[in-house]
Structure 1
Amino acid sequence: MRHRYSGRKLGRTSSHRDAMFRNMVTSLFEHERIVTTKEKAKELRPIAEKMITLGKRGDLHARRQALSYVRCAGVVHKLFGEIAEQFADRKGGYTRIIQTGVRRGDNASMAIIELVGYDETVAAATTEA
């Protein structure tokens, strides 16, 4: 029986899983939207939401906790600045998972995980400018 087993192994060792999720959280906050498999997105969501909650707290200890997980200090600065301001009045549910179909090579179900306030037109304008 699988009672009280939480999380997915995703065919990786625990250290590989931890490194993968750290990289994915960093990329999610840097680009505000990433494409991944549905299972990885479902596992990434609670980690990302905890990081946003740390950003909303905004104290030094929360910043150090975020720096111990997120790989780039610039991304932590963005998390505690604009992302925390964006979700200041929101109680939870900071991310959205959109299923997009299957991957051509191995038929894996793909999904987009993004921050709730993500707007493609604004993101395209900032990357072009």
Structure 2
Amino acid sequence: MNHGKKNNPLSRKYGHRKSILSNMASSLIKEKRIFTSLAKAKELRKYIEPIITKSKINTVHSRRIIFSYLRDKKAVFELFKDSFKKVRERLGGYTRILKVGFRYGDQSPISFIELVDFNTTSFFHTKKKFKSVRRSKKKKIKK
């Protein structure tokens, strides 16, 4: 039976898994996009979404709770800056996971996880409008 097994242990013990997720979460907040394996990205999403939700309340208590998860002062400071205002206005779904390919050594799926509101290179955020190309059937030859 599979009762009570919500998380993927990532073949690591509790302390190591906690450290990995903490480090990846602070890197994601600082860099806005990180490349990792698909399993780690899925676990990181479950770890960081509640942290970003807690950052909506800007109090000393919420800062201390978030610091207990991240253990990185710069990441906590970055999370409460005005540049994250757009993220805090979202109701949820702060991250996006995109599959990139496979790792060369062991063929494990590689993906990148990014914060949704900081992606400026996707198709939806480009300001250039694409026109459809219309081609005529045949040019008429003048005689």
Fold in common (TM above 0.5)? yes
TM bracket, shorter-chain basis: 0.7 to 0.9
Match of 1:100 in 2: 100
Per-residue deviation at 1:119? 3.1
Q: What letter is aligned with 2:77?
A: H
**What TM-score do you get using the length of structure 1 for normalisation?**
0.87
Match of 2:7 in 1: 7
Per-residue deviation at 1:86? 1.8
- Pair 1:18–1:83, CA change in 2 (3 A): farther
In 1: Cα distance, 2:4 partner to 2:68 partner: 28
Per-residue deviation at 1:101? 1.1
Q: What letter is aligned with 1:13?
A: K
* Deviation digits for residues 24-55 of structure 1 (CA, Å, limit 9, x no counterpart): 00100010100001111001002111111111
Q: CA RMSD in A?
A: 1.4
**What TM-score do you get using the length of structure 2 for normalisation?**
0.79
Q: What letter is aligned with 1:103?
A: R
Q: What letter is aligned with 2:69?
A: Y
Match of 2:30 in 1: 30
Q: How does 1:78-117 map to 2 (within 5 A)?
A: 78-82=78-82, 84-117=84-117
Conserved 8 A contact 2:53-2:88: no
In 1: Cα distance, 2:50 partner to 2:86 partner: 15
Q: Is there any run of 5+ residues in structure 2 with no aligned partner, and where?
A: 122-143
In terms of Rg, which structure is larger?
A: 2
- Count the aligned residue pairs: 121
Structure 1 runs (4+) deviating above 6 angstroms are none
In 1: Cα distance, 2:98 partner to 2:57 partner: 28
Match of 1:57 in 2: 57
Could you say what secondary structure the match of 2:56 adopts? helix
